[in-house]
Amino acid sequence: MKKKWATAAVSTILSLSLAACSTAGTGTTKDAAGKTGSGVDSPSAAGGKAVEITYWNLFGGGDGDFMDAMVKKFNETHKDSISVKSVRLEWGEYYTKLSAAISSGSGPDVAVSHASRLPELVGNQAVTQLEDIAKQANVNWGSFNENILSGTEFEGKHYAIPLDTHAQAYFYNKKLLNDYGLLGEDGKPKLEPGTEGFMKFLNTVKEKSGGKTIPLTLPTAQGSDIYWLWWTLYKQADGESLFSSDGSKAGFNNEQGKKALNVLDRMIHKDKVLPGNLTPDNFQKLFEQGKAATGVMGVWATGALEKVKDLDFGVMPVPTILDKPAVWGDSHTIILPKAKNPDAKKQNAAVTFADWLSTNGAMWSQAGHIPAKKDVLLTDEFKKQQYRSDYASTTANNVRFFTKSPKIGPVGDEITKVLNEFASSGKLNPDDVLTKAEAAANKVLSK
């Protein structure tokens, strides 16, 4: 195993993505050193017949509570065959500890990985390929949404079982939109198509509120959300990879990239319907407090927003602002870390557990995430959850994952820095933004 695994650092952009999985209240069942904390620790099966597996995850806050409940239910329903010991690590150090454990041969039997981390993991041969194991465990790959599943496939082989996709969605305050004549009888925004339709909608909010209501909220000055929105627009403009065909250079400083940036420039600087000084700490509060009419947020915000007293809101897929439907998203997946001495029984148990988690995705969707298995969206358990059905199916089909590259993290960091500067300072000429980001990305790729 390559030595760099022991010292792998979690990049800023992926750390921010992870933060979405671990809002306030992060805890651990046991950390990598074996210290006991809060969470799920399954009982041993009677007679010692159960295969015991260790499961590492990074879920905190509400996500952690839902995952704990799922592990508990799995153990209760498989007590004679499989016993899962859940180990919850702090999200900020999760991949560093996972990397070190795999490198030293002491990794868990099964673990969570974002789809955006898989290129690095697979490229470093740190993940077990699942074809034969999944077949023995009766995993039906056809049961998964093909678009979500594609994020776990490399050279036609499966390296992870997807649990969900978590993407951007468009949230709106029904009361405010109704006051401004922008809410239809169906309870949805009166949006005309394309860039002009979307900008007209946001400008109407600004005009009819006398500038008192923020038309659109999203972190712009800090954090990766603006990069995610640029990627959404880039894919809507039919942009392809972030890299050249051989992966050696940046490939986003093109017509599609500029088209996406021009929309951001119009929102932030020209029409001023999206403030350029918003941060991850304040943008959602503006929506919760009724100071912002709409917001582009991760679907995981659903669970938090529905707890806000007297907030009458709705949610829908991100509108098609440019040429075709597309939206940024990532995916929580379940992997089998490479082991020095693989145990076939443990591997079978691990894949059985991973597939069960995905099959029972209606439990997980309570956190706002979109289940990876198609049939889950048809269950009564899922349908009875308010808001989720309003975005789940369309978003699952239109989510566009980042380009598969071991360097997508650090390259994304550089793009994010430039976009944050562009939004907050107002000093960068739009024509220079992608050129500056391209130069920074090429520096990363040259190393």
pLDDT of residue 274: 99
Q: Are residues 270 and 344 in the same domain?
A: no
* Residue 223 structural domain: 167-328+407-445
Q: Are residues 317 and 411 in the same domain?
A: yes
Q: Which two tokens stand for residue 36?
A: 């006991």
* Number of separate domains in the chain: 2
pLDDT of residue 49: 84
| Residue 335, SS3 per DSSP | strand
Under DSSP, the state recorded for 68 is H
pTM score: 0.90
Q: Are residues 321 and 235 in the same domain?
A: yes
User: Using one digit for the tens of pLDDT, what is the confidence trace for 273-331?
Assistant: 999 999 999 999 999 999 999 999 999 999 999 999 999 999 999 999 999 999 999 99
CA nearest neighbour of 53 among 157, 174, 137: 137
Question: What is the C-alpha to C-alpha distance for residues 293 and 310, in angstroms, rounded to an integer?
Answer: 15
Q: Which two tokens stand for residue 288?
A: 């919760």
Amino acid at residue number 273: V
| pLDDT level of residue 34 (50, 70, 90 thresholds) | very low
User: Using one digit for the tens of pLDDT, what is the confidence trace for 379-399?
Assistant: 999 999 999 999 999 999 999
Per the CB < 8 A criterion, the answer to whether 437 and 419 are in contact is: yes
Q: Which two tokens stand for residue 86?
A: 């859940």
* CA quadruple 169, 173, 178, 182: dihedral sign: negative
Per the CB < 8 A criterion, the answer to whether 261 and 231 are in contact is: no
Q: Are residues 346 and 299 in the same domain?
A: no
Q: Are residues 389 and 411 in the same domain?
A: no
pLDDT of residue 41: 40
CATH number for the domain that contains residue 335: 3.40.190.10
- Give the residue-averaged pLDDT of 38-53: 58
Residue located via tokens 């922008």: 182
Beta-carbon contacts of residue 90 (< 8 Å; ≥ 6 apart): 22, 26, 28, 31, 58, 60
- Give the residue-averaged pLDDT of 49-54: 95
**169 Cα distance to chain centroid:** 11
Checking if the pLDDT of 138 tops 90, the result is yes
Decide: residue 54, CB within 10 A, 0-12 exposed, 13-18 middle, 19+ buried.
middle
Q: Where are the alpha helices (DSSP H) in 266-379?
A: 283-288, 301-305, 344-359, 361-364
Q: Are residues 22 and 171 in the same domain?
A: no
Q: Are residues 87 and 15 in the same domain?
A: yes
Q: Are residues 323 and 351 in the same domain?
A: no
CA nearest neighbour of 112 among 169, 70, 76: 70
Q: Which stretch of DSSP H or E encloses residue 436?
A: helix 430-445
Q: Are residues 177 and 156 in the same domain?
A: no
Per the CB < 8 A criterion, the answer to whether 53 and 353 are in contact is: yes
Q: Are residues 246 and 282 in the same domain?
A: yes
Q: Which two tokens stand for residue 23?
A: 């809002």
Q: Are residues 34 and 179 in the same domain?
A: no
Beta-carbon contacts of residue 113 (< 8 Å; ≥ 6 apart): 121, 127, 160, 332, 333, 334, 335
DSSP string, 216-254: EE---SSSSHHHHHHHHHHHHTT---SB-TTSSSB--SS
Q: Are residues 319 and 392 in the same domain?
A: no
Question: What is the C-alpha to C-alpha distance for residues 174 and 189, in angstroms, rounded to an integer?
Answer: 8
Can you name the residues that pair with 373 across neighbouring β-strands?
Answer: 144
